Structure 1
Amino acid sequence: MYKMYINGVLFPVTPSKLVIKTKNQNKTINLINESEVNVLKDAGLMEVQIDKLLIPNQRYPFAIYSGTFHRAKYYMDKLTAWKSSGKALTFLFVRKAPNKINFGSTRLKVSIEELQFTEDAGNGMDVEVKLTLKQYKDVGIKKLVRKKKKSSSSSKKTTVTVKKHRASKPIAKSYTVVKGDCLIKIAKSQLNDSSRWKEIYTLNKNVIESTAKKHGRKSSSDGWWIYPGTKLKLPK
């Protein structure tokens, strides 16, 4: 069974087709002798394309819900609000076989680049959504401050001061989950690297999974569901 979440919201009908592509940023340069060389650069941002996401206005036996049934307007309002919020979202795609073997999950911080709703007679009362998501990466920016000092002579000298980031705080050995936390947020605040959320999950898998089951879930969906009060060990 495949499941799709955006910002923790489970969409009841998983799209039949999902395209994830990465564009490169390589550059071709012409040399003096008219030959070409390819200058390799880091890969570009990943892009998720969903051409047809069905949002039902009625219950279907094939649809999945994490709790209360919601009509299409609920999901349309969520997507519209996220699109205009100017904030990054968390996209999670979970892949599991009928025998519950985990085929791995895709988790990305994304922004909504394209959002289109279509109401077609062929879909009855249901709404069809076209969605394009683009990977979002946090960046650190250094600020340059120019200071001008007058010398004893008539000439002027310019000093450039670079503000440096303060040294990272020491990494704690453990952390207790509070309301509103997710593993990405914890990895960012405690390890200074949001991409290390998987290390936290692997180190605390038994605790996270058992806690999720105590709260009535079959699993934590690879660490998506964590609960306040859970004490987690932090990797070195």
Structure 2
Amino acid sequence: MPTNAYQIWLTFDGEKQKLQFPVHPEKIKLKQGSSNQSVDIVGLGEVTIMQEKPEAEVSWSSFFPGNPFPGMQVASLTWPEDIKFKIKTWMGSKKPCHLIVTGTKINLYCTIERFDCDEEGGAVGDMNYSITFKEYRQPTIRQVKVDAAAQTASVPKTEERTDNTVAPKTYNIVSGDCLYNIAKKQLGNASKWPEIASMNGIKSPYTIYPGQVLKLPT
């Protein structure tokens, strides 16, 4: 049972995929510095463009348990290698994730900048990790408004919406394929073949044929 009021969630693909971190870190680091820029504009000399608040950086270190223990924040255990695979997949997707730490002000879209992990010595199955996120903002084209008299420039604030949905991956079936092997080769986990079957409306794992195009979980 959870021992703290807050929870740490990472979601992906429009909240369709979710991960709750099973063990809370001792400390979460939130970093945010100044990002004002000085630039030369012809005829005005040097002016300062006041930016919006800089992107935040969030990081922490903890571990993924290989066996249940009282300090877990989740109801059921997910094998550390499966969590590692999921995070690595999201990290390589070039799409932002949504990081939420309930009970705090951390609620932002972000990219996974760094993810390092290794086996816990002396604790069979446990995996130590450290992770760093950087706040993501949807790129927009903005106009700079210049006040020649005051020698200042500003960037008008615009409404931004972050789209982190991912188009489904597909796979063309060839002779000799089965859902078990497709899941193992394409997803890195053979036990995910029922997800493939469900996504494609396949009621029996044997009713697939060469040339059929399957949608795959991301």
Q: TM-score, normalised by structure 2?
A: 0.52
Q: CA RMSD in A?
A: 2.9
> Within the alignment, does 1:16 sit opposite 2:26 as a pair?
yes
Name the SS for the 1:121 alignment partner.
coil
Q: Map 1:1-236; keep pairs closer than 5 Å.
A: 1=4, 2-7=6-11, 8-27=18-37, 40-50=50-60, 52-66=61-75, 68-95=76-103, 104-141=104-141, 194=161
Higher relative contact order (CA 8 A, sep 6+): 2
**Identical residues among aligned pairs (%):** 21
| Structure 2 residue runs without a partner (length 5+) | 12-17, 40-46, 143-158, 163-218
Structure-1-length-normalised TM-score: 0.49
Alpha-carbon distance, 1:89 to partner: 0.3
Q: CA deviation at 1:62?
A: 1.1
Conservation of the 8 A alpha-carbon contact between 1:13 and 1:63: yes
Report the count of equivalent residues.
131
Which amino acid counterpart does residue 52 of structure 2 have in structure 1? D
> How far off is 1:125 after superposition?
2.9
**1 or 2, which has the higher helix percentage?**
1
Q: Residues 122 and 28 (structure 1 numbering): CA distance in 2 closer, same or farther, change over 3 Å?
A: farther
How far off is 1:27 after superposition?
Answer: 4.6
Cα distance in 1 for residues equivalent to 2:49 and 2:161? 29
CA contact (8 A) 2:80 2:125 kept: no
User: Does the aligned pair in 2 maintain the 1:92–1:107 contact within 8 Å?
Assistant: yes
Which residue identity is paired with 1:54? F
Question: Which 4+ stretches in 1 moved above 2 angstroms?
Answer: 26-29, 37-43, 122-125, 139-142, 192-195
Give the Å deviation of 1:13: 0.4
Which consecutive unaligned segments of at least 5 residues does structure 1 have?
Answer: 30-36, 96-103, 143-191, 196-236
Task: Check whether the contact 1:72–1:127 (CA below 8 A) recurs between aligned residues.
Answer: yes
User: Is the Cα–Cα contact under 8 Å of residues 53 and 128 in structure 1 kept in the other structure?
Assistant: yes
Change in Cα spacing, 1:23 to 1:123, as seen in structure 2 (3 Å) is farther
On the 8 A contact 1:24/1:42 being kept in 2, the answer is no
Q: What SS does the corresponding residue of 1:13 show, helix, strand or coil?
A: coil
Could you tell me how far apart the structure 1 residues matched to 2:161 and 2:24 are? Answer: 27
The 3 A distance-change label for structure 1 pair 140 and 27 is: closer
Deviation, 1:91, is 0.2
Q: 1:141 to 1:40 in 2, by over 3 A?
A: closer
Q: 1:26 to 1:193 in 2, by over 3 A?
A: closer
